[in-house]
């Protein structure tokens, strides 16, 4: 799962190193491995990470830096097409020191600047420090699968994978944003960029931002839109329908294949419904060594007939030749879980 955090300040602030370690400690549940980097000469930038290793178990410790120290990266997520990106970059003379997916981000930026994000297929929240220009670059994946929260102060900019980690910083106010609370009670969710706190905002999906440490200038722009399409929209309706069916089929199959890349044992959440069943069916075509996990609530026999899909999930797993692991959750389990959050 992983978690990242960082602070940059236009003015020297030795106390920010303490804030950084407190924020990173607040992400302990997102990964057992931790790392920090900061400028101890003037205390103007600090970055931390908690990593859960999925790719390159013996390497790729974060923060990751280029050999000359000009670029430093912390990121949460997974870049599914990192082998293809390596194949693109190696002919350009780039030599990689890890087998992980994070290092490709550094060299994509080195080669293509802010266009690096166009090459990434995956889920990610990225923080990239350019030491030559004193610029922090933040980027979030196209659909906002990986969370990223920011604080934009007068001379301090901070970010984190979770609100509660960012909230631990000494410069964050606990003032409530009542417009966000109002949105929640009207819509059952809080829309971007709002959060319950005025001092913290959601970083928007499919966006990239540059923050200049020296001038304080911040530039945010969208790099992808749902309206972008590979379809020929000038085609007649029947051709367009055929194109759409072929494209969706290809994208779904490609996406499942990319997600099967892992140096850890693989599992799939199988509810018995149409969407997870389709994903499991495609996954089984490429890897039979996957465990299908299905979760249900503790119920009496009559309720299980209408409200529990574990039996359907078990039948499909058996048909696909996958190992099956059912999990039953009780009210007591939920109570204990909430207490440990």
Give start and end residues of each alpha helix (H) in the chain. 16-25, 82-89, 103-112, 163-167, 178-187, 237-259, 274-286, 301-307, 310-320, 331-339
Distance CA 146, CA 113 (A): 22
Q: Is 2 a catalytic residue?
A: yes
| Unique residue bearing structure tokens 């929209």 | 233
Is the CA virtual torsion 77, 80, 84, 86 positive or negative?
A: positive
Task: Pull the structure tokens for residue 119.
Answer: 């090459």
Concatenating the DSSP letter of every residue in 211-226 gives EETTT--EEEEE---T
Q: Which of 1, 2, 194, 245 is catalytic?
A: 2
Pairing label, strands 149-152, 201-202: antiparallel
Distance CA 253, CA 259 (A): 10
CA 154 to chain centre: 27
Contact 273, 309 (CB under 8 A): yes
Would you name the residues annotated as active-site residues? 2
């Amino acid at each position: 799962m992983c978690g990242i955090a960082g602070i940059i300040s236009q003015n020297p602030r030795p106390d920010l190193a303490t804030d950084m370690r407190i924020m990173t400690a607040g992400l302990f549940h997102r990964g057992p491995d931790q790392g920090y980097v900061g400028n101890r000469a003037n205390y103007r930038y600090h970055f931390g990470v908690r990593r859960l290793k999925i790719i390159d178990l013996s390497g790729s410790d974060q923060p990751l830096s280029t050999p000359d120290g000009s670029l430093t990266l912390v990121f949460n997520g997974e870049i599914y097409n990192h082998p293809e990106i390596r194949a693109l970059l190696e002919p350009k003379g780039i030599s990689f020191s890890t087998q992980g997916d994070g290092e490709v981000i550094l060299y994509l930026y080195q080669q293509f600047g802010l266009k690096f994000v166009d090459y990434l297929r995956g889920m990610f929240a990225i923080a990239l420090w350019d030491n030559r220009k004193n610029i922090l670059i933040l980027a979030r994946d196209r659909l906002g699968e990986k969370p990223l929260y920011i604080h934009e102060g007068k001379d301090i900019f901070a970010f984190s994978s979770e609100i509660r980690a960012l909230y631990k910083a000494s410069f964050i106010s606990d003032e409530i944003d009542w417009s966000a609370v109002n949105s929640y009670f009207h819509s059952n969710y809080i829309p971007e960029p709002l959060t319950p706190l005025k001092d913290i905002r959601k970083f928007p999906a499919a966006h990239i931002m540059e923050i200049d440490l020296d001038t304080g200038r911040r530039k945010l722009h969208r790099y992808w839109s749902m309206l972008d399409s590979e379809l020929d929209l000038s085609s007649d309706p029947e051709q367009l329908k055929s194109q759409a069916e072929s494209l969706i089929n290809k994208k779904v199959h490609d996406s499942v294949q990319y997600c099967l890349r892992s140096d850890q044992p693989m599992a799939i959440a199988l509810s018995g419904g149409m969407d997870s069943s389709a994903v499991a069916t495609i996954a089984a075509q490429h890897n039979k060594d996957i465990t299908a996990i299905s979760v249900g609530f503790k119920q009496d026999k009559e309720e299980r007939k209408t409200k529990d899909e574990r039996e359907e999930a078990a039948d499909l797993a058996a048909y696909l030749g996958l190992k099956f692991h059912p999990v039953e959750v009780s009210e007591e389990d939920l109570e204990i879980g909430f207490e440990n959050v």
